[in-house]
Amino acid sequence: MVSCIVLASFVQYVPSILTVIKFKHTNEFPNHGFKLPGGYTIPILALLISCYMVTNFTWKTILVGVVVGVLAAVAYFFIEKDEKAEQKHQHYLAKMRQK
């Protein structure tokens, strides 16, 4: 159980790393004074370390993590979305792209 919790808390950083790479590449959103020293070096290094760390878990732990992730992804499609909040979010994103 502890290994599953560590895996879950560790894997949550991977989307953040990929987001940094995407936003640095596309320049989609203003950085508000944030500058990543070394360009892509730090995010790519963090991604490689993350992949290496995942290999240290047992196959049972990884299997449980994948099953829970798939179940969560399937459940996501059944969640009702708030259309008003979605429109507000899309408006905010459009405004940020124009800056």
Q: Which residue do the tokens 């196959």 mark?
A: 59
How far is 30 from 33, CA to CA, in rounded Å? 8
**Verdict on whether the full-model pTM lies above 0.85:** no
How far is 34 from 42, CA to CA, in rounded Å? 14
What are the pLDDT digits (tens) for 3-47? 888 888 778 888 888 888 887 777 666 666 567 778 788 888 988
What are the pLDDT digits (tens) for 47-73? 898 888 888 888 888 898 889 889 998
Is 9:76 a contact under the CB 8 Å cutoff?
A: no
Query: In sequence order, which residues have a C-beta less than 8 Å from that of residue 96 and are 6 or more positions away?
Result: 29, 30
Total structural domains within the chain: 1
Domain that holds residue 55: 2-98
